[in-house]
Structure 1
Amino acid sequence: MTNGDKIKENSINNDLSKIKTAITDIESNKIVTRGYSQEDLIANITFPDMVYLLLKGDLPSPKESKMFNHVLISFCDHGVTSPSTQTSRLIASSGSPLNVALSGGLLSFGKKHAGAIEDSMSLFQEALNDDIFDVYNFENYVNSKDFDNSIDEIANDIVDIYLNDNKKIPGFGHRYHTKDPRGAKLMDIVREEDFIGKHTKLALAIEKILFEKKGIHINIDGANGAILSDMGFSSSLGLGIFMIGRIPGILAHVNEEITQKEGFRKFCNIDDISYCGYEDKHLD
């Protein structure tokens, strides 16, 4: 926000029966989002820029715009391996409407599926809270050799804590890939674009140590968790941003299921079911 920007006065004050919002203002023949006319936004910015504006309140810089676009694309699809995609296709095969099948996929996101993005963001952000660095100019310190040494120490501590507790570090390793091609490409891009902030430095330092000790690489959640953290996004928005990127992929799978499959899809065959309950109980 610049000095010339004005905040619209609101007469609602603390009336809890009213909705107070700083996102979009609707008047007759006029729509303003985050201070910008939607006509101007429609004509001049990209969809990722609009998402960024809605979530953060400001338009991204050219470099942030480019990186945020890479982030959303990287989330787009992981085939039928994902529980959300499987759920959506199963629902679609039953004859449910498209919106129902899509909703089912979104509802399947949880701690064990897509939850690692928020966990990795929390890990990076809590480890590098500005308050733990007793320096006058933190931004200059981030680019110094002393900071790099501090990052290495923090990364070592994180890896030791997780490995000693036999726990997986969120954002590293993948059940299908020995090296997640999406995470690797994103880290290549941040180097090429000189978009390496403090959280990305930490992620790369953790990856280096993990690879030396366990042969484990950063995955898409770790890469994007670091990038989004460097952009200033709260970890609470991580899953939501993932969903924005993944919806087109799920939609494509739902549409494919509807147009190509006849009859409902079987979750499993009878021979795949192992009953382990009581048998031959009788009513008195």
Structure 2
Amino acid sequence: MSDNTDVADWWRTSIIDMEPGRIALRGHPVEDLIGNRGFAQMIWLMVTGKEISGQRARLFEAALVAAVDHGPQAPSIAAARMATTCGIGLQSAMATGLNMLGDVHGGAGEQAVDLFRAIEAAGLEELKATLDRWRTQNGRFIPGFGHRFHKPVDPRAPRLLGLVDEAAASGEVIGSFAKIGRAIEAHLADERGKPVPMNIDGATAVIYAELGCPAPLARGFFGLSRSVGILAHAWEQREQGGRNKGPTPPQYRWTFDGA
């Protein structure tokens, strides 16, 4: 038998080991995981290779739960519903919705984690200077703050921050990123003369930063969470029926501004 492993080594993974009659995920026999790990714990184990438990697991699950849906006006949800009326299957409808998540819709959590870490590195006393640099490099919007619909408060954010406070009080997270988030919120309110609420992206970014997630995973976890809402809406639209639904009812027309 040849000792050549060039084919086996083509894809290298520490995630799964498998042979007929045996599956091990991150070193754990799958039969030991089934019934003994919650889905959120399993996501964390699969993605990071580490176990998560206690209030840290509760925080992670809370972040996933909070971001599942924001209604048919959300581009990802709307796209999935429209796709469903075109006669495609649920997986294709879900893919259509997930493919709408980008730097603007779905990327703010990743950006907020980066911003929080930049503020942590510079120190809170340099908050204004750090925000000014961020705006110079990335534009005037501060990711994770302000909401065009939820004013003066995004109802998800205080609950998530409260859970972070509980975990910090027990020593399971440090709590510094919650402090940074609240400091940004206060600064923006002073700057604009009105409340600028931390939104779902900011609150979940606080959690992911507290849990030590690399910033890109904040976006990945948001997509994982939002896929639940996408599936729910795609299925609801399939049950409701409808054919070739566009973004507006057919009696409404677009504005033609050509010659």
TM range (shorter): 0.7 to 0.9
1:272 match: secondary structure: coil
Structure ID, larger Rg: 1
Which residue identity does 1:257 align to in structure 2? Answer: Q
Q: Which has the larger displacement, 175-184 or 70-79? A: 175-184
The equivalent position to 2:127 in structure 1, one of 143, 155, 162, is 155
* 1:232 lines up with 2:224 in the alignment: no
**1:76·1:245 contact (CA, 8 Å) conserved in 2?**
yes
* 2:175 aligned partner: 197
- How much does 1:59 deviate? 0.5
**1:159·1:209 contact (CA, 8 Å) conserved in 2?**
no
Which residue identity does 1:221 align to in structure 2? Answer: D
Give the root-mean-square deviation of aligned CA atoms. 2.3
* 1:172 aligned partner: 145
* 2:33 aligned partner: 41
Distance 1:80 1:12, change over 3 A: farther
Identical pairs, percent: 32
- How much does 1:248 deviate? 1.3
Q: TM-score, normalised by structure 2?
A: 0.87
* 1:93 aligned partner: 85
Equivalents in 2 of 1:216, 1:254: separation in Å?
33
* 1:108 lines up with 2:80 in the alignment: no
* 1:181 lines up with 2:181 in the alignment: no
- How much does 1:22 deviate? 0.7
The equivalent position to 2:241 in structure 1, one of 249, 257, 261, is 261
**1:49·1:65 contact (CA, 8 Å) conserved in 2?**
yes
Please show how residues 73-152 of structure 1 align to structure 2 within 5 Å: 73-129=65-121, 150-151=123-124
**1:34·1:53 contact (CA, 8 Å) conserved in 2?**
yes
Distance 1:124 1:225, change over 3 A: same
* 1:27 aligned partner: 19
- How much does 1:118 deviate? 0.9
- How much does 1:225 deviate? 0.9
Which residue identity does 2:257 align to in structure 1? Answer: C
* 1:274 aligned partner: 255
Equivalents in 1 of 2:131, 2:196: separation in Å?
12
Equivalents in 2 of 1:12, 1:198: separation in Å?
51
* 1:252 lines up with 2:232 in the alignment: yes
**1:48·1:69 contact (CA, 8 Å) conserved in 2?**
yes
Distance 1:13 1:207, change over 3 A: farther
TM-superposition CA deviations, 1:7-51 (whole Å, max 9, x none): xxxx88887962111111112211111111111111211000000
Which residue identity does 2:74 align to in structure 1? Answer: S
2:34 match: secondary structure: helix
TM-superposition CA deviations, 1:174-226 (whole Å, max 9, x none): 11112111112111221233245332221121112222333211111111112
* 1:66 lines up with 2:44 in the alignment: no
Alignment gaps of 5+ in structure 1: 1-10, 133-149, 279-284
Which residue identity does 1:244 align to in structure 2? Answer: L
Equivalents in 2 of 1:200, 1:95: separation in Å?
45
